[in-house]
Amino acid sequence: MRLDPLDEKIIQALTRDGRRSFAAVGAEVGLSAPAVKRRVDRLVAAGTITGFTAVVDAAALGWTTEAYVELYCSGQPRPALLAQDLERLPEVVSACTVTGNADALLRIRTAGVRHFERVLQRLTELDYVTHTKTTLVLSPLFERARSEANPAG
């Protein structure tokens, strides 16, 4: 889908504050509230905007341990199977298949190292998993969205 500069500004405004009113966004970008709403509806329908969400501090909810786990598998489990199996584990926050020796890279959040150990065990119980390699997060430095459009996009 093609984005004009107004769409981009709207996306940036709603990325900064997903609950801003259409009127407030319109005042910022130079449109009326209905015009902003029409564009947002279009962006959501096109899948450019996937949704709106509250951003929650994981540590405040008790998820104090964060880790990246490389998954090494025998055979090549299909991505769809991996997704299905890994999504059953609520501690797996994101997962992707990757280049390199590992087959998948997982991001995991748990309530402590004890809890993390149990998750590792459940991962190795998957029949195609041969071993794992854990990288524990020490200090999260920052995290942000890329809401600017690529000029060549």
Partner DNA sequence: CCTGAAACGTCGACGGG
Partner DNA sequence: CCCGTCGACGTTTCAGG
Question: Looking at 24, 111, 136, 137, which residue binds DNA (CB under 7 A)?
Answer: 24
Sign (positive/negative) of CA torsion 113, 137, 71, 53?
positive
How far is residue 75's CA from residue 94's CA, in Å, rounded to a whole number?
Answer: 22
Cβ 144 to DNA shortest distance, Å: 24
125 binds a second copy (CB under 8 A): no
Contact 74, 103 (CB under 8 A): no
Cβ contact 83:106 at 8 Å: no
> CB-wise, 55 or 125, nearer to a second copy?
55
Tell me which DSSP letter residue 99 carries.
Answer: S
| Helix/strand/coil for 27 | helix
Q: Is 31 in the site for DNA (CB under 7 A)?
A: yes
The nearest distance, CB 46 to DNA, in angstroms, is 11
Q: Which two tokens stand for residue 90?
A: 């609520």
Tokens of 62: 């008790």
Instruction: Report yes or no: 124 and 72 within 8 Å, Cβ to Cβ.
Output: no
Q: How far is the CB of 43 from a second copy (least distance, A)?
A: 9
CB of 15 to DNA, least distance (A): 16
Q: For a second copy, what does the binding mask look like between residues 68 and 107, x meaning CB under 8 A?
A: x----------x--xx--xx--xx-xxxxxxxx-x-xx--
Residue 35 or 107 having the CB closest to a second copy: 107
Binding site for DNA (CB under 7 A): 6, 21-24, 26, 30-35, 37-39, 42
